[in-house]
Each structure stands twice: as structure tokens, then as C-alpha cells.
């Protein structure tokens, strides 16, 4: 199972290695999924399957502990698919050897993060995943790349500085197992959790630390610049997977380990994420650069993930993970398509383009499909995820309102619901301007449609989007388990 | 007098033997009148020094076993921890020696072939005494032996104006700081009537305001050598003016040794009764040091000045180990210094080989280095990442452990301090990334043409890069340090 990490790192300067490697990864993820489904349900004592732990730094009780539950498996699956599609999308990149090396280092960090159960190794993999971004954007990016790469790296590392303090704090204020403090998440939870007084200090800094990567409202500004400057595959991987690290960390570490503080302080973050949802959507409406539109739409959708997680309701939280999957796939699809269009027209400004439906029908149709997924058309993944989130949030908001516990959740659910309408506005605006309408530049008439590797990349993603849309129950059942009140104590 | 006491000083004796062999070889080795033929003799001396010192370093590891010993009437102490600290310094000195081989064989240096090595070994001897001293007299002897020859080393480039200026600055500040230090000592002696560490601690049970003043003087005196802010003003000029080999020696070995000595003085002498006073003083110093060092580093365009300010701020992180004052933070500090030696020496190794070849030290000249000299650029990038504390390189682990050690204290003040330090790591990441950016992202033509660095330089780089990659991941290193420190000193 750790084989996910053992991806062929001996780079030969051929794409075949990257593609074969990512295929192997998909194969392994699916195998992992099948194995996992055969196992009995998770229990309070054993919240992770395939749990394994090796001592690393004995004196500090640091282990290399791994284990997965339904959510991590879903995330691993998502990563594999996007890495696969990403290697096809960067078929003709400069200096492929170095590029794929960094890309693989990045995905190593991501896989490591999703399977880690030990806070130290988790944090280490988290940072391993962040730093290749600097070089990937700086060297292979476009536009104002120096600025964006630096901004992105510094903001994310700033988040991880808070995180480091939070994690060491959790370590020292967690329970003592066998005469020593422990970094192991499952052990911390099963032995009484973090000391209550400290939770009110540690929960916010940990949540903010991960929230920066999840593009939470005041800390989201790295995201549009970063995505706009990054090369295609990196945008895909970053929006598709890396931003999920933030959301995943928020509930796996901050909320899972500190349930009391999560219940009492969630309102602060609920307001912030509520703002990201709506603000991101409105910002996307006025952008003219395709990548900026998508980046802001990512802010909005990722805000929704955190928003749903903070509802502390099993249905909403399941929806949050569904949204992670759905958003990951469809944003990757978006960025792949934008990269392909940009590679042909050399502009991303929607005012300078038009009538793409005639010129490159294949890409245009894909774009429409991605757009529909994003605005929540039934049958595609976006609908399933958002539906689950809003149903769960509404339930929670309503029951709290009825119990006289304030109407905050209810009000913010209604506010967040508005974002669906705004999403439709900006998606349809782009579709109208870019794909339909008159051709703005007659040079564009000579452009060609997608090549076979581009088709392969997009088809993979579209199939996955449709799969979630058509078989939501399968994924929901996989995920729900983690958020049952028995295992996840923060759930109300 | 019982002469067998000398046997406790195994490492010092070993070092003296190395020094004498080098010295004698230098005296009797043939010296040619013709300039060209001297090159061979220099190479011989360099090789012999390095080999001898390498053997001695290996020998040093055998000295770590054994009991704690207190000899010469309690003036000199050695324990496994102290021996390990000396070994850490040895490893660093060995790398510096290998790095300086090439420079030492260059034209102006040839005439004085072994002087550089001899001076260096003498200063190392002084540092040993500083670390082992349990009496202030011995401590001062060590301090002076470590400082004065260094001034000669700083002035080694006798044809360069900056080198002289740096030496004058260095010697003046060194003397001034010694004077302040001794003033503090005279207060201590006046108040307690003794200069033994343990007796001072006993005698100062009642304490007085005067003793706190004395302590502040002592702290300031050592702070000069560590270049803590506000005693750091000499650092940048001296680092820039001195030959690069000397700069790297100053920035890692001298700093590391002083940091250990500083901790011994603080914990053993003032630890029991004045911990509140000195910890708050150090608290302020750390915040100032880390912040000011970082902010000044951002603006530097000369690589040596840049690393000077970066090393100022690194000293602040090292001091986090002192303020933690527990086993865990002592081990973390030792580990931090070890990692810092490797990372900083990797950076200096790259700077030096480029300087030897082209004479360029500006950060702007490094633009596009990854295209002309990819391996040097790669080594430099790893060094920068390690200094900034990015996993999976050793710097990440050492930072993490030193923060963990400091937070072991558990007070709110410590959380605030660590938070400030952490925010500062972001600032430092910015300027370390500037170097990476210059090397990898700039599209401009590189001023530095492709060249093949010399064998010795490459060897040193391989060692340091290997250390950067392995030290963190291989947990044995840190574990064994922690096991050592858990046994009472």
C-alpha cells in the first residue's frame, strides 16, 4: 500500500515513465479501494484500516505511521487520476526531466500526506508538497510568474508556520500513552484527546494553518495569482489536489483532535468561509482572464468544502468530501482545457476570443461539460456534492434554529446557496463569450482541435466526473463512515 | 601534581599532536626559491593536514565513551556530551580544511603554505578549552586563544584592502568584548570571591543586583562572539572582507563553539538562581537577533554579506536551545549546530569554488547558474532549502526539534517566542528563495561560464550535500544525541 510512494523516481527522460508510473498509481489506488471495501466497517477503536507504524525518532516518539479510511482512499484515487491526466496535459513541456521530477516529488508529498496518521510525518509531507510549487511555477510558469510563485510559497509556508506551532502544541498537550506524548492521531483521540483549555488556542491556529491552503477568505489571495501563472499540469494538480490538503487537514487534524473547540469556535470560521463562497463567486464574474475565473471559482468551491465541514453534520461533511472529489476533477478538467486553448490562441482573455465551438469543437464541448459540472447539473458530480452539502447544512441549521441555538448556520446556508446562482452566471458568461458568438480574431480560424493525448487526458477526467454523478451512493457510503458520531466526536 | 590528569584531555592532546606534526612538516619540508615548484610542497602540506585531521576526527569518536571527569582541581571537565560537541566541531573543521585546500594553493598563499592550517588548529584548541572550562581563568585563555589567531586569519589576504579592514574591525571588537567580559568577571569575583563555576553558583545563593549587572556584562561579552543583535555590527564587514575559507570557519565553527560555551556558562553559573533574569534577557536578544538578522539579509546583494546576516539570524535559532535549558533542547541545539555546519558549509563551498574560479561573489552573478553549472546550483539550492528549514532536508528536522525542545518548557511566553521565530522563518525563506530564483528562474545569460571545480572542492560539496540529505532522515544521529544528553552532565 505504501507502494503509492514508491513511484519510479529514477527519471529517464521519457514521458513513458511518467505515464506508466501514473497508470501504476491508478491501478494501485483501485486495488487499495477494492481491498478496503472487503474489510469490515471502521470502529471507534480502529478508525483506520491498513494501520501500520514504524518507529522513526524513538526519543521523540515520532513514528512513520500510516493508515487509511474511506476519505483518504477517495483522495488517493483523486490524486492518481489527476496525476495521470496531468502527465498527458504536459506532453510537450520544456525540460521534461526536471519538470516531472518536481511533479513527482509534489505528488509524493500529497500521497504521503493522505496516508499519514502521525502528525510529524503528515506535516513533513505537507511541506514536501508545497515547495516544488515554487520551482514549478517559477521555471515553467507564464505571466507574472516570479511574483506569484513567491507570493504563493510565502503565504502557504506562513500557514504552515502556524501549523507547526499548533502541531507541537497538540503533541505536548495531548494524552500520555505508555509514558510518552504521542504524535499518533488515533492514539491521541482514543486516549482522551487534547487538553480542553489548550484547544481554544490550538484549534484556531491549526485551522488557519490548513485553511490558508484551503483558500479561506482573508488568506485566499495566493490562489488566483498562483493558478494564473502556473503551467497547466501544475494548475491541475494544485487546484485539484493540493487545495484539498487544506480541507482534509482541517477536519482530520483540527476538528478530529479538538472536538470541543471545534464545536464552540466553528462559527468564526463559518462566517469566513461563507464569505469565501460568495466573494469568490462574485469575483469570478468580473474576471476576464480564463485562469483567474477558474481560480476564483476554486476559491468559492473550496470555501464550500470548509463551510460544509464546519457544519458538523454527517451529511454535510460527507458532502464536503464529495465536493472535494468533484471540484478536484472538474477544476483539473477546466485547467487542462484552458491550457490547451491557451497553447493554441496564446491568449486567455475572453474578450479576444470567440466562436471556439466552430474552431475546436472537441475542446469546446469538453468545456461545456466541465461548466455544467461546476454549476451543478444533475448527472454530473457537482450536483451530487452541492446537493448533499446544502441538505446537510439546512438540516443542521434548521435543527439548531428550532432548538433556539441561534440562526447563524441557517442564515449562512441560505447565503451560500446563492452562490449556485452566481456560479451559473459566470460559467454561462464564459461559455457564451468564448465558445459561441463571433470569432474575434481571424487567425484563430486556422487553429486545430485536440490531439490524441489531450483527448485522453480530458476523457479520463470527464468519465470520472460522470462516474461520481451517476453513482453517488457508492462514494457517499465510502466516506460517510468516517463522519459517524461514534468515530468523529465533533459531529453534533 | 598528578600528571595522569592530563590523560583526561584526550582530544586536546590529539589536536596538539596534529598541530605539531603539521608544524614540524612545515619547518622541515623543502622550500624552493622558484615560485612554481612550491606548488607541490603546498599540496603535500594540505593533503597531510587533511589526512591527519581526518584520522584525528575518527579518533575523537572513541573519546566519547567513558565517564565524566573533573580534573586540575575542578578547572577542566570532560563528559561524553562535551566530547561529542568537540567531535561535531571536528567534522566541521575537516570540511573547512578540505574546502580551503584549493584556495591555499593559489598564488599569494603559496609562500605561507601551512600558516593557515596552524592558525586554525590553534583557534580550535582555544575553543576546546572554552567548552571544557569550569573555571573562568581557563575560559578566558580559551576565549583569547580562539579570538586572536582568528584576526590573523581574517587578515590573510594581504593584498586586499578589505581583508585588512575586516581584521582591524574584528580585533577591535574582539578586544572590546573581552574587556567587557572581564569587567563582568571582576564583578563576579568581587562578589563571590571565586572563579570556579560551581562555587560561584553556590556563593550567589543570596544574590544581588550587582551580580545581575555582572551577568549582563558576561552575556554581552560572549554575545559579541556569537554576533547576537545588538552586538552584531562587526559581522557583515568581517565576513565580507575575510577570505571565504575564514568566513566559513568564523560562521560555523567559531559560532558553534561559542554557543556551547555560552550555554555552559549560563546554565552552570547563573542557571540556578538567576534563571528568571537571564532567560528574559536572552528572550529579548533572541527576538532581536532573529528579526534584525533576517530583515537585513533581505537587502544584501553580496553572497558573503548575505550569509553573514543569515548566520546572525541562525544564531538566534541556536539560542532557542539555550533558553529551553532542558535535555531535549540541548540535544536539539547540538543537532541544530551540526546541521547548520553542513548547510552553511555547502553554501560557502559553492561560493568559494566560484570565487576561486572567477572572483565573483555578487548574487546577481549567480543568475542563470543552473544552466551553466547545474551541479553547483543544485548544491546551493539544497543548502538554501536546508537553511530555510524545508523537508526532507536536514534543516527541517533541526528546526522542528529545536522548536519542540523550546516548547517543552510549556509556558505561554515560550509559545509566543516560538511563534515569532516561526514567522521569521517565512522572512528567511523569502531571501533564501531569492538565491534559488536567481539561479533557476532568471533567464539572463550567466556571467559565470561552465567550469569544472577541483577535486577537493567537489569532495567537500559531496560530503556536505550528503549530510544535508541524510542527517535528518537517518534518525540515529538525533536519537543518539538525545540519549547522550539524557545522562546527567
Q: What is the mean pLDDT of chain A?
A: 81
pLDDT digits (tens, 9 = 90+) for B49-98: 888 889 988 888 888 777 778 888 888 888 888 888 999 999 999 999 99
Chain B residue numbers with beta carbons less than 8 Å from the beta carbon of A198 are none
**Residue indicated by cell numbers 507564464:** A142
- A157 at the B interface (CB within 8 A)? yes
% residues pLDDT > 90 (chain A): 0
Three-state SS for chain A is: CHHHCCCCCCCCCCHHHHHHHHHHHHHHHHHHHHHHHHCCCCCCCCCCEEEEEEEEEHHHCEEEEEEECHHHHHHHHHHHHHHHHHHHHCCCCCCHHHHHHHHHHHHHHHHHHHHECEHHHHHHHHHHHHHHHHHHHHHHCCCCHHHHHHHHHHHHHHHHHHHHHHHHHHHHHCCEECCEECCEHHHHHHCCCCCHHHHHHHHHHHHHHHHHHCCCHHHCCHHHHHHHHCCHHHHHHHHHHHHHHHHHHHHHHHHHHCHHHHHHHHHHHHHHHHHHHHHHHHHHHHCCEHHHHHHHHHHHHHHHHHHHHHCCCHHHHHHHHHHHHHHHHHHHHHHHHHHHHHHHHCCCEHHHCCCHHHHCHHHHHHHHHHHHHHHCCCCCHHHHHHHHHHHHHHHHHHHHHHCCCCCHHHHHHHHHHHHHHHHHHHHHHHHHHHHCCCCCCHHHHHCCCCCHHHHHHHHHHHHHHHHHHHCHHHHHHHHHHHHCCCCCCCCC
Cα–Cα dist A13/B301, whole Å: 36
pLDDT at B390 over 80: yes
Segment A181-209 mean pLDDT = 84
Q: State how far residue B430 is from chain A, nearest Cα, in angstroms.
A: 7
Segment B217-225 mean pLDDT = 89
- A418 at the B interface (CB within 8 A)? no
- Please report, for residues A185, A406, A486, the alpha-carbon distance to residue A174 in angstroms, rounded to integers and kept in the order given: 10, 32, 20
pLDDT at B389 over 60: yes
Specify the pLDDT at position B384. 92
Number of compact structural domains in chain A: 1
CA atoms within 13 A on the CB side of A11: 13
Q: Do B441 and A145 touch (CB under 8 A)?
A: yes
Specify the pLDDT at position B202. 81
Q: State how far residue B299 is from chain A, nearest Cα, in angstroms.
A: 16
A492 within a domain of the structure (yes/no): no
- A124 at the B interface (CB within 8 A)? yes
pLDDT at A16 over 70: no
- Non-local CB neighbours of B281 within 8 Å, separated by 6+ positions: B216, B219
Closest partner residue to A135 among B415, B422, B440, by Cβ?
B440
Chain A residue numbers with beta carbons less than 8 Å from the beta carbon of B396 are 124, 127
Interface test with B, best of A56, A58, A59 (most B CBs within 10 A): A59
Q: Do B429 and A153 touch (CB under 8 A)?
A: yes
Q: Higher pLDDT residue, B335 or A53?
A: B335
State the complex-level ipTM. Answer: 0.88
Q: Higher pLDDT residue, B347 or B160?
A: B347
Chain B residue numbers with beta carbons less than 8 Å from the beta carbon of A172 are 407-408, 410
Interface test with B, best of A5, A9, A57 (most B CBs within 10 A): A57
Give the best-scoring range by mean pLDDT among A23-27, A276-280, B65-69, B446-450.
A276-280
Chain B residue numbers with beta carbons less than 8 Å from the beta carbon of A124 are 391-392, 396
A490 within a domain of the structure (yes/no): no
Chain B residue numbers with beta carbons less than 8 Å from the beta carbon of A162 are 419, 422
Q: State how far residue A424 is from chain B, nearest Cα, in angstroms.
A: 39
Q: Higher pLDDT residue, B448 or B248?
A: B248
**How many residue contacts between A and B have a Cβ separation below 8 Å?**
83
| Sign of the C-alpha dihedral computed for residues A340, A341, A343 and A348 taken in this order | negative
Specify the pLDDT at position A475. 82
Number of compact structural domains in chain B: 1
- Non-local CB neighbours of B41 within 8 Å, separated by 6+ positions: B29, B30, B31, B32, B113
Give the best-scoring range by mean pLDDT among A239-248, B422-431, B434-443.
B422-431
Q: What is the mean pLDDT of chain B?
A: 86
Where in the sequence is the domain holding B300, given as residue range(s)? 3-486
- Non-local CB neighbours of A471 within 8 Å, separated by 6+ positions: none
Interface test with B, best of A94, A97, A121, A134 (most B CBs within 10 A): A134
Closest partner residue to A138 among B331, B408, B440, by Cβ?
B440
Chain A residue numbers with beta carbons less than 8 Å from the beta carbon of B391 are 124-125, 127-128
pLDDT band at A9 (very low <50, low <70, confident <90, very high): very low
Chain A residue numbers with beta carbons less than 8 Å from the beta carbon of B335 are none
Chain B residue numbers with beta carbons less than 8 Å from the beta carbon of A120 are 400
- A147 at the B interface (CB within 8 A)? no
- List residues of chain B with CB under 8 Å from any CB of chain A: 328, 331, 385, 390-392, 396, 400-401, 403-404, 407-408, 410, 415, 418-419, 422-423, 425-426, 429-430, 433, 436-437, 440-441, 475, 478-479, 482-483
Give the 3-state secondary structure of residue B277.
Answer: helix
pLDDT band at B310 (very low <50, low <70, confident <90, very high): very high
- All three cell numbers of A245: 490538503
Q: Higher pLDDT residue, A298 or A379?
A: A298
Comparing alpha-carbon positions, the chain B residue that sits nearest to A123 is B391
Specify the pLDDT at position A357. 76
Q: State how far residue A313 is from chain B, nearest Cα, in angstroms.
A: 33
pLDDT band at B207 (very low <50, low <70, confident <90, very high): low
Closest partner residue to B437 among A60, A146, A168, by Cβ?
A146
Comparing alpha-carbon positions, the chain A residue that sits nearest to B396 is A124
Q: Higher pLDDT residue, B371 or B178?
A: B178
Q: State how far residue B440 is from chain A, nearest Cα, in angstroms.
A: 7
Specify the pLDDT at position B122. 92
Closest partner residue to B426 among A125, A154, A168, by Cβ?
A154
Closest partner residue to B479 among A59, A125, A157, by Cβ?
A59
Chain A residue numbers with beta carbons less than 8 Å from the beta carbon of B401 are 60
pLDDT at B489 over 60: no
pLDDT at A29 over 80: no
Where in the sequence is the domain holding A426, given as residue range(s)? 2-483
Q: Higher pLDDT residue, A38 or A293?
A: A293
- All three cell numbers of B148: 586572536
Asked if omega into B230 is within 30° of 0 (cis), the reply is yes
Specify the pLDDT at position A1. 40
Comparing alpha-carbon positions, the chain A residue that sits nearest to B475 is A57
A489 within a domain of the structure (yes/no): no
Q: Do B400 and A164 touch (CB under 8 A)?
A: yes
Q: State how far residue B431 is from chain A, nearest Cα, in angstroms.
A: 10
Comparing alpha-carbon positions, the chain B residue that sits nearest to A155 is B426
CA atoms within 13 A on the CB side of A253: 38
DSSP B296-318: HHHT--BHHHHHHHHHHHHHHHH
Q: State how far residue B317 is from chain A, nearest Cα, in angstroms.
A: 15
Closest partner residue to A138 among B426, B441, B483, by Cβ?
B441
Comparing alpha-carbon positions, the chain A residue that sits nearest to B437 is A138
Closest partner residue to B404 among A60, A149, A157, by Cβ?
A60
Q: Do B426 and A139 touch (CB under 8 A)?
A: no
- A195 at the B interface (CB within 8 A)? no
A491 within a domain of the structure (yes/no): no
- A131 at the B interface (CB within 8 A)? yes
% residues pLDDT > 70 (chain A): 91
- All three cell numbers of A53: 507504524
What pTM was estimated for this model as a whole?
A: 0.90
**Residue indicated by cell numbers 559531496:** B462
pLDDT at B21 over 50: yes
Segment A274-302 mean pLDDT = 88
Residue closest to B267 by CA, chosen among B190, B217, B215: B215
Residue closest to A252 by CA, chosen among A47, A34, A46, A33: A47
Q: Is-contact A87 A233, C-beta < 8 A?
A: yes
Q: Do A59 and B440 touch (CB under 8 A)?
A: no
- Please report, for residues A431, A450, A461, B167, the alpha-carbon distance to residue A360 in angstroms, rounded to integers and kept in the order given: 14, 7, 19, 71
Q: Do B403 and A134 touch (CB under 8 A)?
A: no
Q: Higher pLDDT residue, B136 or B108?
A: B136
A64 within a domain of the structure (yes/no): yes
Interface test with A, best of B368, B404, B486 (most A CBs within 10 A): B404
pLDDT band at A44 (very low <50, low <70, confident <90, very high): low
Q: State how far residue A78 is from chain B, nearest Cα, in angstroms.
A: 24
Specify the pLDDT at position B69. 81
pLDDT band at B452 (very low <50, low <70, confident <90, very high): confident
Residue closest to A327 by CA, chosen among A412, A392, A384: A384
pLDDT at A6 over 70: no
Closest partner residue to A154 among B396, B410, B430, by Cβ?
B430
Instruction: Flag the least confident range among A285-289, B33-37, B104-108.
Output: B33-37
DSSP B22-74: HHHHHHHS---SSTTTHHHHHHHHHHHHHHHHHHHHHHHHHTTSS--EEETTT
CA R_g for chain A: 21
- All three cell numbers of A447: 487553429
A175 within a domain of the structure (yes/no): yes
Comparing alpha-carbon positions, the chain B residue that sits nearest to A56 is B475
% residues pLDDT > 90 (chain B): 28
Segment A191-212 mean pLDDT = 86
Specify the pLDDT at position A4. 43
Specify the pLDDT at position A461. 86
Q: State how far residue B434 is from chain A, nearest Cα, in angstroms.
A: 9
Amino acid at each position: 500500500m505504501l507502494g503509492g510512494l514508491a513511484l519510479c523516481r529514477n527519471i529517464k527522460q521519457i514521458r513513458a515513465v511518467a505515464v506508466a508510473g501514473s497508470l501504476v498509481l491508478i491501478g494501485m489506488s483501485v486495488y487499495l479501494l477494492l481491498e478496503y471495501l472487503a474489510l469490515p466497517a471502521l470502529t471507534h477503536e480502529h478508525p483506520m484500516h491498513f494501520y501500520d507504524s514504524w518507529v522513526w525518532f524513538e526519543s521523540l516518539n515520532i513514528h512513520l505511521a500510516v493508515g487509511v479510511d474511506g476519505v483518504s482512499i477517495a483522495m488517493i484515487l483523486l490524486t492518481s487520476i489527476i496525476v495521470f491526466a496531468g502527465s498527458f496535459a504536459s506532453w510537450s513541456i520544456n525540460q521534461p526531466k526536471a519538470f516531472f521530477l518536481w511533479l513527482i516529488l509534489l505528488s509524493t508529498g500529497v500521497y504521503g500526506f493522505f496516508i499519514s496518521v502521525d502528525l510529524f510525518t503528515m506535516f513533513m509531507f505537507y511541506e514536501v508538497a508545497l515547495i516544488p510549487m515554487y520551482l514549478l511555477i517559477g521555471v515553467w510558469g507564464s505571466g507574472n510568474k516570479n511574483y506569484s510563485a513567491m507570493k504563493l510559497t510565502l503565504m502557504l509556508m506562513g500557514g504552515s508556520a502556524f501549523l507547526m506551532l499548533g502541531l507541537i502544541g497538540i503533541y505536548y498537550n495531548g494524552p500520555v500513552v505508555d509514558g510518552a506524548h504521542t504524535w499518533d492521531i488515533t492514539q491521541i483521540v482514543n486516549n482522551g484527546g487534547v487538553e480542553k483549555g489548550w484547544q481554544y488556542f490550538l484549534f484556531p491556529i491549526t485551522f488557519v494553518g490548513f485553511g490558508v491552503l484551503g483558500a479561506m477568505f482573508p488568506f485566499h489571495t495566493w490562489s488566483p495569482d498562483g493558478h494564473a501563472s502556473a503551467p497547466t499540469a501544475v494548475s491541475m494538480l494544485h487546484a485539484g489536489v493540493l487545495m484539498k490538503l487544506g480541507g482534509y487537514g482541517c477536519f482530520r487534524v483540527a476538528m478530529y483532535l479538538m472536538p470541543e473547540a471545534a464545536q464552540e469556535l466553528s462559527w468564526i470560521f463559518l462566517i469566513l468561509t461563507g464569505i469565501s463562497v460568495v466573494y469568490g463567486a462574485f469575483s469570478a464574474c468580473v474576471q476576464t482572464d480564463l485562469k483567474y475565473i477558474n481560480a476564483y471559482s476554486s476559491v468559492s468551491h473550496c470555501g464550500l468544502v470548509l463551510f460544509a465541514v464546519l457544519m458538523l453534520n454527517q451529511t454535510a461533511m460527507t458532502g464536503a468530501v464529495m465536493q472535494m472529489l468533484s471540484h478536484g476533477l472538474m477544476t483539473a478538467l477546466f485547467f487542462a482545457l484552458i491550457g490547451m486553448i491557451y497553447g493554441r490562441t496564446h491568449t486567455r482573455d475572453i474578450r479576444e476570443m470567440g466562436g471556439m465551438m466552430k474552431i475546436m469543437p472537441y475542446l469546446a464541448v469538453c468545456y461545456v461539460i466541465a461548466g455544467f459540472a461546476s454549476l451543478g447539473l444533475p448527472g454530473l458530480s457537482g450536483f451530487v456534492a452541492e446537493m448533499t452539502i446544502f441538505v446537510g447544512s439546512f438540516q443542521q441549521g434548521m435543527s439548531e434554529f428550532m432548538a433556539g441555538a441561534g440562526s447563524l448556520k441557517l442564515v449562512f446556508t441560505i447565503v451560500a446557496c446563492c452562490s449556485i446562482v452566481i456560479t451559473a452566471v459566470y460559467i454561462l458568461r464564459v461559455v457564451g463569450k468564448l465558445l459561441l458568438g463571433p470569432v474575434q480574431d481571424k487567425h484563430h480560424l486556422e487553429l486545430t482541435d485536440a490531439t490524441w493525448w489531450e483527448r485522453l487526458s480530458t476523457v479520463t477526467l470527464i468519465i470520472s466526473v460522470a462516474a461520481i454523478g451517476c453513482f453517488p451512493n457508492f462514494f457517499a457510503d465510502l466516506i460517510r463512515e468516517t463522519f459517524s458520531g461514534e468515530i468523529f466526536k465533533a459531529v453534533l | 601534581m598528578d600528571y595522569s590528569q592530563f590523560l583526561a584531555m584526550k582530544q586536546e592532546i590529539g589536536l596538539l599532536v596534529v598541530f605539531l606534526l603539521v608544524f614540524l612538516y612545515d619547518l622541515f619540508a623543502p622550500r624552493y626559491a622558484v615560485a612554481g615548484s612550491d606548488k607541490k610542497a603546498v599540496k603535500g602540506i594540505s593533503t597531510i593536514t587533511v589526512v591527519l585531521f581526518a584520522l584525528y576526527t575518527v579518533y575523537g569518536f572513541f573519546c566519547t565513551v567513558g565517564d565524566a571527569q573533573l580534573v586540575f582541581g575542578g578547572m577542566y571537565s570532560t563528559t561524553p556530551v562535551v566530547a561529542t560537541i568537540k567531535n561535531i566541531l571536528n567534522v566541521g573543521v575537516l570540511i573547512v580544511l578540505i574546502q580551503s585546500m584549493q584556495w591555499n594553493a593559489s598564488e599569494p598563499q603559496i609562500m605561507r603554505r601551512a600558516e593557515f592550517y596552524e592558525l586554525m588548529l590553534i583557534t580550535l584548541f582555544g575553543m576546546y578549552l572554552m567548552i571544557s572550562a569550569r573555571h573562568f581563568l581557563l575560559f578566558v585563555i580559551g576565549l583569547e586563544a580562539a579570538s586572536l589567531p582568528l584576526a590573523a586569519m581574517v587578515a590573510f589576504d594581504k593584498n586586499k584592502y578589505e581583508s585588512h579592514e575586516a581584521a582591524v574591525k574584528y580585533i577591535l571588537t574582539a578586544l572590546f568584548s573581552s574587556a567587557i567580559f572581564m569587567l563582568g568577571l571582576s564583578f563576579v569575583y568581587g562578589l563571590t570571591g571565586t572563579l570556579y563555576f560551581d562555587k560561584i553558583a553556590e556563593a550567589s545563593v543570596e544574590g544581588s543586583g550587582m551580580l545581575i549587572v555582572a551577568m549582563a556584562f558576561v552575556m554581552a561579552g560572549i554575545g559579541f562572539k556569537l554576533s547576537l543583535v545588538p552586538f552584531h555590527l562587526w559581522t557583515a564587514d568581517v565576513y565580507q572582507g575575510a577570505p571565504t575559507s575564514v568566513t566559513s570557519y568564523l560562521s560555523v565553527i567559531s559560532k558553534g563553539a561559542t554557543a556551547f560555551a555560552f550555554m555552559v556558562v549560563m546554565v552552570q553559573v547563573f542557571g540556578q538562581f538567576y534563571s528568571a533574569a537571564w532567560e528574559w534577557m536572552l528572550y529579548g536578544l533572541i527576538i532581536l537577533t532573529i528579526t534584525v538578522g533576517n530583515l537585513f539579509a533581505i537587502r544584501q546583494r553580496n553572497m558573503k554579506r548575505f550569509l553573514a546576516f543569515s548566520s546572525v539570524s541562525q544564531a538566534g535559532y541556536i539560542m532557542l536551545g539555550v533558553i529551553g535549558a532542558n535535555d531535549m533542547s540541548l540535544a536539539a541545539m547540538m543537532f541544530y549546530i551540526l546541521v547548520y555546519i553542513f548547510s552553511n558549509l555547502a553554501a560557502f563551498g559553492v561560493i568559494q569554488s566560484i570565487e576561486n574560479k572567477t572572483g565573483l561573489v555578487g548574487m546577481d552573478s549567480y543568475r542563470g547558474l543552473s544552466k551553466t553549472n547545474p551541479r553547483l546550483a543544485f548544491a546551493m539550492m539544497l543548502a538554501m532549502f536546508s537553511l530555510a528549514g524545508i523537508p526532507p532536508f536536514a534543516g527541517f528536522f533541526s528546526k522542528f526539534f529545536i522548536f519542540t525542545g523550546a516548547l517543552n518548557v510549556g509556558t505561554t511566553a515560550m509559545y509566543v517566542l516560538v511563534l515569532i521565530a516561526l514567522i521569521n522563518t517565512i522572512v528567511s525563506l523569502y531571501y533564501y528563495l531569492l538565491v534559488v530564483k536567481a539561479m533557476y528562474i532568471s533567464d539572463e545569460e550567466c556571467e559565470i561560464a561552465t567550469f569544472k571545480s577541483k577535486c577537493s572542492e567537489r569532495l567537500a560539496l559531496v560530503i556536505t550535500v550528503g549530510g544535508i540529505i541524510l542527517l535528518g532522515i537517518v534518525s540515529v544521529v538525533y536519537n543518539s544525541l538525545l540519549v547522550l544528553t539524557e545522562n546527567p552532565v
